[in-house]
Chains A and B, each alone.
Chain A
Amino acid sequence: VQLVESGGALVKPGGSLRLSCASSGFTVSGASMSWVRQAPGKGLEWVGRVGSKTFGGATDYAASARGRFSISRDDSENKVYLQMNSLNTEDTAVYYCFTGVPQGGFWGQGTLVTVSS
């Protein structure tokens, strides 16, 4: 199993960014897929997830992400996305793709998002 995140960049406050998570050896449609972030020098914070195809692909989010972030999945590409809008400096972090514990608990290597003017 390999999860590879991409799309991290330097973005100005108020800007938007879309992160991607490409999976190999693991079918994302069959799993609940999460995004987890880690601010510099801080702990892990769950951002949100998209449910498996079996459960209709429902999404839910942490309070800090609700209304600004959106998670989606492309089953044909075997990818998961995190669309982030209205970014602020507190969103600066490494963002990890994570399969969820029941699905094996696999982590990607992360992608860095820096929000700064």
Chain B
Amino acid sequence: EVVLTQSPDTLSLSPGERATLSCRASQSVSGNSLAWHQQKPGQAPRLLIYGASSRATGIPDRFSGSGSGTDFTLTISRLEPEDFAVYYCQQYGSSIFFGGGTKVEIK
């Protein structure tokens, strides 16, 4: 079983600031099969990033993903008001696991 550890649990930032979220896997993620999802209160999640660094359809370019192996990062270059939400990393492929999530809140 792969354990995905996200940090920090909560990130308090102001609109316009840069957000950097981390996802660390307990073992190497094969084929960089790592995705990021955004979830706002009362809504279903939405896919942001797949393949560690490819943006899903319609996702603004202020969202970017990077990393490989066991360490992955989601960066939001300049936070917009609608970006304050919870973000989950996910391994997919031969097995599926989710990280515990990082909440990005308004400071």
Q: Do A and B bind?
A: yes
Task: Give the interface of A toward B (CB within 8 A).
Answer: 34, 36, 43-46, 49, 96, 100-102, 104-110
Q: Assign chain B's interface to a size class.
A: 20 to 34
Tell me whether B45 and A107 are in contact (CB under 8 A).
yes
* Complex CA–CA separation, A40 to B45 (angstroms): 15
**Least Cβ distance of B25 to chain A in Å?**
15
For A46, the closest partner residue in chain B by CB is B96
Interchain Cβ contacts within 8 Å, total number = 47
**Least Cβ distance of A82 to chain B in Å?**
15
Q: State which of B35, B44, B101 has its C-beta within 8 Å of the C-beta of A110.
A: B44
Tell me whether A100 and B92 are in contact (CB under 8 A).
yes
Q: Would you list 5 pairs from A and B whose C-beta atoms are within 8 A, ordered by A residue?
A: A43-B99, A96-B44, A101-B50, A105-B35, A110-B44
* Complex CA–CA separation, A109 to B45 (angstroms): 9
Q: With an 8 A cutoff between CB atoms, is B63 at the interface?
A: no
Q: With an 8 A cutoff between CB atoms, is B67 at the interface?
A: no
**Least Cβ distance of A110 to chain B in Å?**
6
Q: Which residues of B contact A109 (CB under 8 A)?
A: 44
Q: With an 8 A cutoff between CB atoms, is B64 at the interface?
A: no
Tell me whether B88 and A43 are in contact (CB under 8 A).
yes
In chain B, positions 32-83 with a C-beta closer than 8 Å to chain A are 33, 35, 37, 39, 44-47, 50, 56-57
